[in-house]
Amino acid sequence: MLLVKAVKVLVMGGCMLPIAFGALGTGVLFAGFNVALSRNPEETESLFNNTLMGFALIETFIFMSIGLGFFVLFAA
C-alpha cells in the first residue's frame, strides 16, 4: 500500500512538469509575438489571434495534465 501511495505522489510530481514548461512556453510565445509585432505592425490583429490560440493550446495541455494527475491520485 505504501508503494502505491509513493507512485501516486511521483505521478503528481511528474504532472507538475507541464506547468513549468507551459510557463516557459507562454513566455516564449508572447516574446515572439512582441518581436513579430515590432517587425510588422500592420498584422496586429492576425498576430494577436494566433498568439491567443497558441496560449489556449498550451493552457489546455496543462489542464489535461493536472486532471490526469488528480485522477491517478484520487481515483485509481
Spans of all domains in the chain: 16-74
Over the Cα atoms of the chain, what is R_g?
A: 18
Average pLDDT of the segment spanning 36-58: 95
As a whole number, the mean pLDDT across the chain is 92
| 46 contacts 9 by C-beta, under 8 angstroms | no
- For helices 2-15 and 44-74, what crossing angle results, to 10°? 180
pLDDT over threshold 80, residue 76: no
Helix, strand or coil for residue 39? helix
Can you tell me the distance from the alpha carbon of 12 to that of 35, in angstroms, rounded to the nearest whole number? Answer: 36
Task: Give the right CATH number for 16-74 from 1.20.20, 2.60.120, 3.30.70, 1.10.1740.
Answer: 1.20.20
If one compares 76 and 27, the residue with the highest pLDDT of the two is 27
